[in-house]
């Protein structure tokens, strides 16, 4: 079955459902499938947790597009999160302390979302931010405390966090799955879940005081990758109007082809002792954990082609985008900033070949201290240049604006200063959730959090992060080699020094040429 409606029908449905919803949001809220009763915070924000947007993907629904959720009678309590989607639960894993990790249970019965709203009535038409969590497509959840939507809701946004299928349950590919599909595709089930959640938002968010014509999708890491695929997918057309991709915009990002992934699916099934899909669907979820990792693929339906190719053709869902990265994306590595001089030089030879000497001139490694600093700086510059080149390519076919940033403030952490501005460390600031982490916050952190979250809220409202009292954030323009620094300083800064920008630009161009020569 199709999991989407044409955009005009979605808007008509949203209008029809929303036109009768002028009752107070602080009472019982009626959505398409029944009535919901949430809870209220001390600040008066209404919270609705564990709302099903699709049927549990179990039994015969495993490895199929999401199906409509069942209706319910009476008033459903929406006062606790659903299970997170099936995954191995780590609880913590430095630098990601418990505030960044799943803390509840996991199961396949997980396709639910959560809503935070400060609207007093259902006709306020507040902008909506739909958060897609990270976790490498094999872990994560909408229940993680760092993603708590109260503070953003207090600033005027209706916040939605979602769960979507992960790992083998969300991205498994197999020739038999492709054959049974009316769309001749397999995999990408977790991304189809994101589409279903956005359809739910279009049809129901007006009941919470949200505006279905001002929906921003936002995600970090794997969530950012999901955001990029949604901007490229014809199935998501008309479902959102702005996009935020945190730690996830790279000129080098490519999506795997379905046929290659299908063969991995055949081999994986053999390791589970299954000879048919029926047998695999009958197995308990716990028996399917482990083994090959699967992720997004070019399946010919959700993704007709690689995201970069769709943008190059000008066939993307052209919406304003806000994107950036942290200064120390790779600091979870045990060798980050500690690499030996000889190892750094060896890696340079392996990566850059004939250009290794030019690289080492820019990033010298005469001793371990110097090589550690060069390792950090080269990684930062490479990430910044990659994002800059991504934005340059995007600008060739996009009519809408993009805004890029570089997040340089590390969460105060006296016990572990080595992690600095680590991957995901920007999210407590953007969600204005410093209160949920027991750290020695300083005035600069509170100022930065207020600014970062305000930029998000302004972008969700208008497609432009700028607003009263905030340092001006210029939109990206091809040829202007700057980005917005968010840290102890909040101001535009160069992408990289001229010679380093030129080096990595040539490096990425060589990679692209080599990819185009592969048959």
Place of tokens 């060589």: 510
Q: What is the rounded distance in angstroms from the CA atom of residue 147 to the CA atom of residue 160?
A: 10
Q: Indicate the helix (H) or strand (E) that contains 372.
A: helix 368-395
Q: Which DSSP string do the residues of 373-425 spell out, in sequence order?
A: HHHHHHHHHHHHHHHHHHHHHHHTT--S-EEEEEE-PPPP-TT-GGG-SBTTT
The candidate with the shortest Cα–Cα distance to 419, out of 93, 148, 139, 141, is: 93
Backbone angles phi, psi at 238, to 5 degrees: 85, -5
Q: What is the rounded distance in angstroms from the CA atom of residue 99 to the CA atom of residue 434?
A: 10
Question: What six digits make up the tokens of 89?
Answer: 């639960």
Question: What six digits make up the tokens of 210?
Answer: 């949200």
Kindly give the pairing relationship between strand 46-52 and strand 39-40.
antiparallel
The candidate with the shortest Cα–Cα distance to 82, out of 116, 59, 105, is: 105
Place of tokens 């279009």: 202
Coil, helix or strand at residue 120: coil
Question: Among the options 143, 151, 246, 329, which is catalytic?
Answer: 329
Torsion of CA 54, 55, 58, 62, to 10 degrees: -50
Torsion of CA 185, 231, 194, 423, to 10 degrees: 110
Q: What is the rounded distance in angstroms from the CA atom of residue 70 to the CA atom of residue 73?
A: 10
Question: What six digits make up the tokens of 468?
Answer: 């009263």
Q: List the beta bridge partners of residue 39.
A: 47
Q: What is the rounded distance in angstroms from the CA atom of residue 189 to the CA atom of residue 36?
A: 27
Question: Among the options 221, 249, 331, 378, which is catalytic?
Answer: 221
Q: Are 84 and 119 in contact (CB under 8 A)?
A: no
DSSP letter assigned to residue 19: T
221 catalytic? Reply is yes
Q: Which DSSP string do the residues of 205-266 spell out, in sequence order?
A: GGGGTEEEEEEEEEEETHHHHHHHHHHH-GGGTTS-SEEEEES---TT---EEHHHHHHHHH
The candidate with the shortest Cα–Cα distance to 277, out of 193, 166, 181, is: 181
Question: Among the options 423, 449, 453, 454, which is catalytic?
Answer: 423
Q: What is the rounded distance in angstroms from the CA atom of residue 169 to the CA atom of residue 181?
A: 16
Q: Are 49 and 147 in contact (CB under 8 A)?
A: no
Q: Are 449 and 434 in contact (CB under 8 A)?
A: yes
423 catalytic? Reply is yes
DSSP letter assigned to residue 32: T
Coil, helix or strand at residue 493: strand
150 catalytic? Reply is no
The candidate with the shortest Cα–Cα distance to 160, out of 171, 147, 172, 173, is: 147
Q: What is the rounded distance in angstroms from the CA atom of residue 394 to the CA atom of residue 401?
A: 10
Which residues are annotated as catalytic? 221, 329, 423
């Amino acid at each position: 079955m199709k999991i989407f409606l044409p955009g005009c029908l979605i808007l008509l449905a949203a209008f029809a459902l929303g036109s009768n919803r002028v009752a107070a949001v602080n009472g019982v809220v009626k959505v398409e499938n029944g009535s919901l009763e949430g809870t209220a915070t001390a600040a008066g924000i209404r919270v609705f947790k564990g709302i099903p947007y699709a049927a549990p993907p179990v039994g015969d629904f495993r490895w199929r597009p999401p199906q409509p959720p069942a209706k319910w009678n009476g008033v459903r309590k929406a006062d606790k999160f659903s299970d997170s989607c099936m995954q191995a639960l780590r609880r913590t894993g430095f630098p990601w302390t418990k505030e960044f990790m799943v803390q509840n249970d996991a199961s396949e019965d997980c396709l639910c979302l959560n809503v935070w709203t400060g609207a007093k009535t259902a006709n306020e038409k507040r902008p909506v931010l739909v958060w897609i969590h990270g976790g490498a497509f094999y872990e994560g959840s909408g229940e993680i405390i760092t993603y708590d939507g109260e503070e953003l809701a207090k600033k005027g946004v209706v916040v939605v966090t979602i769960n979507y299928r992960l790992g083998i349950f969300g991205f498994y590919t197999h020739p038999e799955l492709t054959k049974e599909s009316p769309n001749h595709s397999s995999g990408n089930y977790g991304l189809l879940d994101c589409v279903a959640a956005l359809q739910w938002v279009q049809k129901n968010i007006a009941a919470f005081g949200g505006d279905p014509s001002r929906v921003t999708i936002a995600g970090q890491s794997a969530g950012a990758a999901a955001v990029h695929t949604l901007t490229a997918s014809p199935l998501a057309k008309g479902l959102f109007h702005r996009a935020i991709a945190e730690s996830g915009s790279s000129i080098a990002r490519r999506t795997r082809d379905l046929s290659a992934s299908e063969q991995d699916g055949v081999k994986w099934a053999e390791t589970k002792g299954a000879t048919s899909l029926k047998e695999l669907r009958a197995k308990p979820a716990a028996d399917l954990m482990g083994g090959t990792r699967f992720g997004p693929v070019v399946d010919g339906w959700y993704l007709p082609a690689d995201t970069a190719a769709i943008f190059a053709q000008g066939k993307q869902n052209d919406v304003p985008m806000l994107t950036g990265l942290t200064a120390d994306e790779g600091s979870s590595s045990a060798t980050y900033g500690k690499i030996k001089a000889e190892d750094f030089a060896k890696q340079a030879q392996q990566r850059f070949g004939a250009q290794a000497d030019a690289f080492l001139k820019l990033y010298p490694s005469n001793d371990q201290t110097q090589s550690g600093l060069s390792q950090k700086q080269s990684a930062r510059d490479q990430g910044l240049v990659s994002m800059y080149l991504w934005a340059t390519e995007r600008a060739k076919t996009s009519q809408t604006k993009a805004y890029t940033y570089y997040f340089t403030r590390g969460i105060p952490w006296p016990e572990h200063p080595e992690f600095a501005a680590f991957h995901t460390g920007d999210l407590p600031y953007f969600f204005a959730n410093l209160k949920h982490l027991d750290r020695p916050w300083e005035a600069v952190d509170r100022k930065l959090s207020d600014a970062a979250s305000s930029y998000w809220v302004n972008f969700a409202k208008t497609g432009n992060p700028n607003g009263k009292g905030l340092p001006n954030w210029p939109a990206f323009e091809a040829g202007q080699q700057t980005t917005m620094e968010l840290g102890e300083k909040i101001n535009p800064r160069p992408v990289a020094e001229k010679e380093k920008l030129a080096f990595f630009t040539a490096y990425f161009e060589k990679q692209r040429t080599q990819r185009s020569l592969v048959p």
